[in-house]
Each structure stands twice: as C-alpha cells, then as structure tokens.
Amino acid sequence: MEKALILDFGGQYNQLIARRVRECNVYCEVHPYTMSMDAVREYAPIGIIFTGGPGSVYLEDSPQVDPEIFRLGIPVLGICYGCQLMAHHLGGQVTAAQDDSAREYGKTETHYDISFPIFKGLSESGISWMSHGDYMAKIPAGFALAAHSDACPNVAIADVSRGFYGVQFHPEVNHTENGTQMIHNFLYEVCKASGDWTMADYKETAVRQVREKVGDGKVLLALSGGVDSSVCAALLAEAIGSQLTCVFVDHGLMRLNEGDEVEQAFGKWAMNFVRVDAETRFLLKLAGESDPERKRKIIGEEFIRVFEEEAKKIGAVDFLAQGTIYPDVIESGAGTAAVIKSHHNVGGLPDYVDFKEIIEPLKLLFKDEVRQLGRELGLPEYLVSRQPFPGPGLAIRIIGDITKEKADTLRLADYIFRDEIAKAGQDKCLDQYFAVLTNTRSVGVMGDGRTYDYTLALRAVTTDDFMTADWARIPYDVLERISIRVINEVKGINRIVYDITSKPPATVEWE
C-alpha cells in the first residue's frame, strides 16, 4: 500500500491534511516532526507533507527538521510554516514581516501559475486561506515562484526537478478554493500515486491482522452502542467470532429503541453478546442529582462497576478491545506535539479486570472512514450513520434531576424530532440534531384546561469539524410539524423552542 507521511509541526489543521490525503485514496499517517530519518526510510512514503505551525523558523527554539530529509529523493509539500521551513533549510531567507501589508490572514485572492503540476487544472485565480506573519524575503536557488497575491509575491514556490513545493496558505481547509485538488495534484502529478487506499482493502487487511494478533486468545469489548465501538465489535466479530465477548451496558438513558437496535445488529455474528439491563441501578445513583459534571462522573463510575461485575463472570481474557480512532491518537499528542486533549476510552478500569494487552483495531481511521468500514462489514445503516451521542446519554440532555418519567418523555420527543427531520430529507443536511428537556415549566392551554408542563428545546447544527458550528436553518414547516406532533403525542410538554445559537459562544450540547 502506498503511503504519504505528514510531519506535524504543531499546526491546528494537521488532521484536516490527513483527511484530505485519504479522500484522495492515498493512505497517510501523522507523525511528529522529530521522527528519525531511519523511521522515515522504514515508513517508505511516496511523498512527505510538512504541516503548518505557530513557530518562526528562524528562531533557535523553533521546530526543525533533519536536512537529510531533502536528500531522500522523496517529493515534499510544505504548508505555511512547512513552506517557510523548506525555504529556510534550502538557502532561502525567512523573516518577520516588516509591515502589515506582508502579513496575510483569512481569505485572500490568489493568482496561480497553472503550468506547475500542483496547480494543474485549476483556475488562474481563486480564494486561499492565509495565516502567516512571517515572510519569505528570499526563495532558495532552484525554486520558482508559482503563485502570488496582491500583498505577497511568493505565495507558492516550486522546484519541479526535485518535487519540492511550498504554499504559504492552507489548501486543506474548505475556505481555500480547489484546495483538495491541489493536494490531489501533489499526490498524483508529483508523487505519482496510484490511489490504492480503499476501505474494502482495509477491511481485509484489518481482519487478517486481528486474527494474527489474537490467535486463539479471548477478547473483551465494552460496547456502548455508538458508531466507534459498534464498528470495532463488528470487525472483531468478523475476525475471531466466538472468541469475542461484547458487554453492552444498557443504562436506561439511550434513545428510543436504541438498545434493541444494537442487539439486533450483531445477531448475524457468532460472538458472545452480553446485554446488561442496568436502568434501575443507574437511575437510583442519579436520583436528585442536577449538576451535569456529577451526572457524568456518576454514570462513568457506575458503568465501570457494572463492567467489572460482568468481566469477573467471564474470567481471564487476553485482550481488552477499545474503539479508539485516529483523531483520539493525534489529539492525545506524540513526542513534542501539542496535547489538545487526552483520550482513553476505558479510562479508570480497575487493575483486577484481567487482560494482558489492549487492542485498538480502528486507531488509524477517521470517523468518516469508520462509518465506511461499518458498511463494508455489513452493519445496518441506522447504526453506521447514527447521530453523535454523548456517553452519559440522555442524562445530560435532561436539565436538572433525572427520573424515569423524564427520560421516557425525552426519548419519545427526541424520536419525533429525528423522525420528522428524516422524513423531510433534512438529515442529509444536518451534522447533529437532538432534543433537550429543559427544567423550565410554563403555563399552557390544552383543550379547555390549563397546563403547567415542561419546555422542550430543539437543537440542530451544521459543522465541518465540531470545533465550530452554526445553528441549522430548518424550514419553518418542518419545525411546525415537529411541534404539533410533540405537543399531541408526548405527555408533559406544552412548549417547544428552537436553539439558534452558534458555537461559539454556545457548545453543541447543552450540558
């Protein structure tokens, strides 16, 4: 399998670069810039991409690269900081911009020389996303100018003979017009990729690797019912069948019919599926608690206790499986890369849950790739395309204290919301949508009687990365149908409101 290598210099868009490369059917991995030359040679990439970063290449403590990398005969694409790093190492000069006109931030009209392979097939002008305060005062010998803007004559540089390209903008972000095509051109026109990264091939390889690793051992997986753990379970079941035991802890705070759907989805595999009905014990633990962080901790701790009890019944296992995915690995940091947030999918499991090793068969996949793999494995679409759902479930979509009555009320209202969104075809336009049972009660009139019931809030957002999100413009007639159905079909709700707050300042979830 052909592989591209992404060296991370602390850029905020490193995951996006990897996603764009894989969208071009080329496999890639993100590694810290400190990766040794021996490791680079062993990895054997067809091309290398330097990410952006917050540093200035001319400062002593800035991230650098072993100059040997430029003598490997491998094409290199430098993005923003990576472009300046290439220029700095190969005889150019990078300095702080002397005036504001040389600094560029945001959307910038850019002019391309489309005779260069990296810009092949593009329009001669377009918008690019700039984010740099340093300036290439001198480009290295052997390089030519490949793009410019009104403020900057050297927006892109190229040494065609060596396959070295540098761009001071970010082709990986959606704001850059034709940015993915530029990355595609680098991979196919410069690196001569053939595009052999497909999910069908990945599935076969992953199944084989799991079989080789596990042998005749036993694997235990805590199955949450979310996309990641479900695809992980399906892959393991495909590979090792009855050697896998999945423990599905149903805490009673899932969406309508979700527990049954999860159980049904795994009926075709010869695996050991253990469903634990723990609704009563979770609700007892949560009784009277309204603080969202306490709710999370209570649910996390109780989940571990239930899992402990089931693990003891099973006895010793060789592997504990986790649905860790690639963003978790990248965000947890490696080497001197910045730690965005730490991840451990089964954090806090006690030492006496007896296993020898952790196995993470999805740790090189992005979320959209996990969904593709699920389809390849034959999981039903309702599970593969499932909306993001927090681990604590409806507990953090019920504002205030939690009761079974409130959970049942929200379950039905949320189902109606999702059902009407799907019927209207809006589910293809929205990235996340759900209902929240607020703790606000208000006066209403139903029939000839006065009511004093709860207010339901609807939330729907569109986003590329969930770092920021915009509230979705759901058509009024769809919102009207949802409101009518909820009021008529769900006891205890007499008012519907729609959340029109973007992230930031709000978050996607309410708690």
Q: Among 104, 172, 177, 238, which one carries the catalytic annotation?
A: 172
Q: Are strands 47-50 and 3-8 parallel, antiparallel or unpaired?
A: parallel
DSSP-assigned beta bridge partners for residue 359: 321
- Collapsed DSSP state (helix, strand, coil) of residue 484: helix
CA dihedral 312, 249, 279, 225 (to 10 degrees): 180
Residues 225-231 have a mean pLDDT of: 90
In the predicted structure, residue 198 carries a pLDDT above the cut 60: yes
116 alpha carbon, distance to own chain's centre: 33
Residue 511 and residue 427 in contact, taking contact as beta carbons nearer than 8 Å:
no
Counting Cα atoms < 13 Å in the Cβ hemisphere of 470 gives 7
Nearest-5° Cα angle at 446, 442 to 447: 155
The C-alpha atoms of residue 397 and residue 391 are separated, in whole angstroms, by 11
> Domain boundaries in the chain?
3-190, 199-384, 403-498
For helices 227-240 and 367-376, the axis angle rounded to 10 degrees is: 40
170 is catalytic: yes
pLDDT of residue 310: 87
pLDDT of residue 100: 53
Phi, psi of 140 (to 5 degrees): -65, 155
pLDDT of residue 468: 78
Q: Which is higher by pLDDT, 451 or 152?
A: 451
Under 8 Å CB-to-CB from 293, ≥6 apart: which residues? none
Interval 257-272: pLDDT, tens: 989 998 998 988 999 9
11: pLDDT confidence band, cut at 50, 70 and 90?
confident
pLDDT of residue 354: 59
The C-alpha atoms of residue 106 and residue 115 are separated, in whole angstroms, by 26
- Collapsed DSSP state (helix, strand, coil) of residue 505: coil
In the predicted structure, residue 402 carries a pLDDT above the cut 80: yes
**Among 6-15, 369-378, 422-431, where is mean pLDDT lowest?**
6-15
The C-alpha atoms of residue 68 and residue 148 are separated, in whole angstroms, by 29
This prediction's pTM:
0.74
**Among 95-109, 375-389, 418-432, where is mean pLDDT lowest?**
95-109
pLDDT of residue 106: 64
- CA end-to-end span of the chain, whole Å? 43
Q: Are strands 470-471 and 449-462 parallel, antiparallel or unpaired?
A: antiparallel
Q: Among 24, 80, 152, 232, which one carries the catalytic annotation?
A: 80
Nearest-5° Cα angle at 14, 75 to 32: 70
Residue 75 and residue 164 in contact, taking contact as beta carbons nearer than 8 Å:
yes
The C-alpha atoms of residue 139 and residue 54 are separated, in whole angstroms, by 21
Interval 71-97: pLDDT, tens: 999 999 999 999 999 999 999 988 876
To the nearest whole percent, how much of the chain has pLDDT over 90? 64
340: pLDDT confidence band, cut at 50, 70 and 90?
very low
Counting Cα atoms < 13 Å in the Cβ hemisphere of 281 gives 14
pLDDT of residue 341: 32
DSSP-derived letter for residue 255 is P
Highest mean pLDDT out of 115-124, 130-139, 461-470 = 115-124
To the nearest whole percent, how much of the chain has pLDDT over 70? 92
358: pLDDT confidence band, cut at 50, 70 and 90?
confident
pLDDT of residue 103: 52
CATH of domain 3-190: 3.40.50.880
304 alpha carbon, distance to own chain's centre: 25
16: pLDDT confidence band, cut at 50, 70 and 90?
confident
In the predicted structure, residue 352 carries a pLDDT above the cut 60: no
In the predicted structure, residue 332 carries a pLDDT above the cut 60: no
Task: Tell me how crowded residue 31 is: count the other CB atoms within 10 A of its CB.
Answer: 18
Residue type, 115: S
pLDDT of residue 498: 98
Query: How high is the mean pLDDT of the chain?
Result: 89
| 138: its two tokens | 């001198």
pLDDT of residue 339: 37
Highest mean pLDDT out of 6-10, 183-187, 213-217, 344-348 = 183-187
pLDDT of residue 380: 92
The C-alpha atoms of residue 165 and residue 157 are separated, in whole angstroms, by 6
Under 8 Å CB-to-CB from 80, ≥6 apart: which residues? 11, 51, 52, 53, 131, 132, 167, 168, 169, 170
Task: Tell me how crowded residue 188 is: count the other CB atoms within 10 A of its CB.
Answer: 17
In the predicted structure, residue 239 carries a pLDDT above the cut 60: yes
The C-alpha atoms of residue 4 and residue 82 are separated, in whole angstroms, by 16
In CATH terms, are 3-190 and 403-498 the same topology? no
DSSP-assigned beta bridge partners for residue 127: 109
DSSP-derived letter for residue 469 is B
- Collapsed DSSP state (helix, strand, coil) of residue 497: strand
Residue type, 78: G
Q: Are strands 432-446 and 357-359 parallel, antiparallel or unpaired?
A: unpaired
- Collapsed DSSP state (helix, strand, coil) of residue 398: strand
172 is catalytic: yes
In the predicted structure, residue 337 carries a pLDDT above the cut 60: no
Q: Among 31, 132, 170, 184, which one carries the catalytic annotation?
A: 170
Give the domain 199-384 fold.
Rossmann fold (3.40.50)
DSSP-assigned beta bridge partners for residue 222: 247
Q: Considering the domain delimited by 403-498, tell me its CATH architecture.
A: 2-Layer Sandwich (3.30)
In the predicted structure, residue 353 carries a pLDDT above the cut 60: no
